Chain A
């Protein structure tokens, strides 16, 4: 009889444990640095640090950048439109959450 030992991989929770550099964020989203740079200038992403090589993106930026990428690509929205869409989606999420807090239906 063989005894198999299953090992379970341990990951890091990006949102809580990590900051990403520009290169890491681009690698994680499979996109070019100029996309990210454009979104930083539109205020879609807000890294710490002055120069692009010093930028540190908070963990939640990963989700935001991927969302921005999908909207830009799938709906052919320009950077300003993406920024607006993300702000509106944030508002919708906030309103839905408020509904959930006060009991549904």
Chain B
């Protein structure tokens, strides 16, 4: 059963003016300006705000309703006593006398709308195929896109994934419905963030005898707390003790696959990069893995530790700011 609520369902009220940071009396120009500014701020391709995508959708939905004087008037008619987040139920016949369907020219944006929006303004058809194809016409199906989240380790080893996709399909009455289907997909070894896998014939169905479209899966990596990826190269911070950096050491370090024995050369400074050739993401040629040295300072929290630092202070005659003088 779908999650969608009927027209009499209860949902949270959305204050579209507050979303755009506007008062109810805002002019159409103010709405446009506020929307443009926030759309640039939260556009998922541009923004690094953590909740950019959700905010962008919210701002888009608010703009959708308020930029059009008809939908704005209908929304305003529900009154200003509602507060964002309140349980809301559309009043009976709230939309009598308004006609919204098929008004929008800027479709193609298959954004999802909130339950609140859908209850009031209906589900927007998005970019559906036209329904009025004469019999005997053949055309290829639409290409579809989806995103797949994988771990860095999956790129090292390859993986098999089952992916659930929501496919828009037209039901018998010509209405748009979401159909879920599961695809089992091989994630090839060596795949990188942002690359696309093309699955031929797994997109939208063709028209008549036209071939089915393709499905493109965009690869995204789950954020990894330890490793950073640059193309095929992988970086990680490797903490070392001051004496390991100064005297050299042989230590065990993690890699995305297992661990490796690493030699720290004597006299290593913080920020020094040690390259593990070919230990990056596999490929032709494979990437490299880099350990970026970070010198960790042991705390002076015992008498012995303080004594050790004092000995260093006496014996080293070391001025770390010598180069700032003179």
Contact = CB atoms under 8 A, between A and B. Distances in A.
Interface of A: 6-16, 18, 27-30, 59, 62-63, 66-67, 70-71, 73-76, 85, 89, 97, 100-104
A67 B188 CA distance: 24
A28 B143 contact: yes
A101 B290 contact: yes
Contact of A73 (B108, B143, B230, B294): B108
B-side binding surface: helix, strand, loop or mixed? Answer: mixed
A-side binding surface: helix, strand, loop or mixed? Answer: helix
Given A9-B185, A67-B45, A73-B106, A27 B199 contact: no
A74 B273 CA distance: 41
Contacts, number: 104
Contacts of A89: 45-46
Given A8-B184, A8-B185, A101-B230, A16 B198 contact: no
Given A13-B197, A74-B39, A104-B237, A27 B186 contact: no
A14 B186 contact: no
Contact of B184 (A7, A14, A16, A29): A7
Interface in B173-188: 183-186, 188
Given A9-B202, A74-B43, A75-B43, A28 B214 contact: yes
10 contacts: A6-B184, A9-B183, A13-B197, A28-B216, A30-B142, A62-B216, A70-B45, A73-B108, A75-B39, A85-B46
A13 B196 contact: yes
Nearest to A77: B40
Contacts of B40: 75
B28 interface: no
Nearest to B141: A27
B185 A103 contact: no
A22 B44 CA distance: 27
Contacts of B39: 74-75
B209 to A, nearest CB: 17
Q: Which 9 A-B pairs have the closest CB atoms?
A: A11-B197, A14-B196, A103-B292, A100-B228, A8-B186, A11-B199, A15-B195, A8-B184, A97-B230
Contacts of A13: 188, 191, 195-198
Contacts of A27: 140, 142-143, 213-214
